[in-house]
Structure 1
Amino acid sequence: MLEKGITLCELWVAIRENEGPPLNTSPFWEHVHQEFCNHRGDAIRHKHALYSRFRMIHVECMRFEAILNNVDHDDGELNEGDVIQIAYVEYHNMFGCDFKHYVVWQITRF
């Protein structure tokens, strides 16, 4: 059972794990929208708004992942925290803003 305060990204992961890859289909996002409204107790956001918001966050997470994968690990001398900090700096340098979705990135990465 999902918690009342579940985030959009946590919900996306939970439904994806139960139904398989979403393939950006309308039925998948109808399910996400229905569950999101059930857990929020309202229907304030339209499914297209949820999809758009998720896509924006997901693109930013994929950018961060790509940067992270390209960080030179100095033959294993850097720990994971160092690598992540370097990726944060590189993200800021490339896009002119901070990466704000680290927790989401952790939730949605597979």
Structure 2
Amino acid sequence: MTIHEIFKEEFSAGRDFSFAWRIFLDRFYASTREFRVELIKFAPECLDDRRHLSYCAAGIHKLCRENGLELPEWITDKSLILDEPYFPGATTDLLQLVCLVESPPEFKMRNIFTTENVLTRT
């Protein structure tokens, strides 16, 4: 299974990006190194929102760094750097300020600001 297949399956079931992303994280964390490499090898082409694709790239970039995996080629595409700052889920100025400080570098470099525990699943 690939990240594209996960998103496609979840979207066809009527679920949103956030839900599909959490399913991807669950599968990634539960997988072997070999499966992880296959899971992230290609971009999820079913994403029509550039912010979501950039978010995936940032998250996978961080996952690769944390797990000693080689970056898939699509992750480094310069078009995944957003023109405008994106604060997913940050609904107040205070939370946006927290995200500006805490956001991991893999997200910041793509102009995405989130909390430091963005990839945590509990």
Instruction: State the TM-score, normalizing by the size of structure 1.
Output: 0.31
Q: Larger C-alpha radius of gyration, 1 or 2? A: 1
TM-score, normalising length: structure 2? 0.29
Greater share of helix residues, 1 or 2? 1
- Higher relative contact order structure (alpha carbons within 8 Å, sequence separation ≥ 6): 1
